[in-house]
Amino acid sequence: MRQMADQLNEVIPNSDIVAALERLGRDISARYAAGESVVAVCVLKGAFMFFSDLVRRIEAPLRLEFVRLASYGDATSSGDLVFSKDVETSLTGKHVLIIEDIVDTGRSMDFLKRTFEERGPASVRIAALVDKYERREVELTVDFPAFTLEQGFLVGYGMDFAEKYRELDAIYELVRDGAESSS
Residues that bind ligand IMP (CB under 6 A): 46, 100-108, 153-155, 159
Q: Output the smallest distance, CB 165 to Mg ion, in A.
A: 14
Interface with Mg ion in residues 101-120 (CB under 5 A): 101
User: Rounded to whole angstroms, how far apart are CA atoms 29 and 57?
Assistant: 8
53 or 101: whose CB is closer to ligand IMP?
101
Strand 171-176 relative to strand 154-155: parallel, antiparallel, unpaired? antiparallel
Beta carbon nearer to ligand IMP, 106 or 145: 106
Decide which of Mg ion, ligand IMP, none touches 38; Cβ closer than 5 to 8 Å per partner kind.
none
Closer CB to Mg ion, 52 or 90, in the complex: 52
In the list ligand IMP, Mg ion, none, the entry touching 154 (Cβ below 5 to 8 angstroms by class) is ligand IMP
Query: Residue ranges of the alpha helices (H) in 80-168?
Result: 107-117
Interacting positions 129-168 with Mg ion (CB under 5 A): none
CB of 149 to ligand IMP, least distance (A): 9
CB-wise, 98 or 102, nearer to ligand IMP? 102
The active-site residue out of 53, 101, 104, 131 is 104
Q: What is the DSSP letter of 170?
A: S
Which partner from the list ligand IMP, Mg ion, none does 140 bind, CB cut-off 5 to 8 Å by kind? none
156 binds, among Mg ion, ligand IMP, none (CB under 5 to 8 A by kind): none
All residues at 6 or more sequence positions from 61 whose CB lies less than 8 Å from its CB, including other chains: 35, 36, 37, 38
8 A C-beta contact, residue 154 and residue 9: no
Single out the residue of 17, 20, 41, 46 in contact with Mg ion (rule: CB under 5 A).
Answer: 46
3-state secondary structure of 9: strand
Active site residue 104: yes
Residues lying near Mg ion in the complex (CB under 5 A):
46, 101
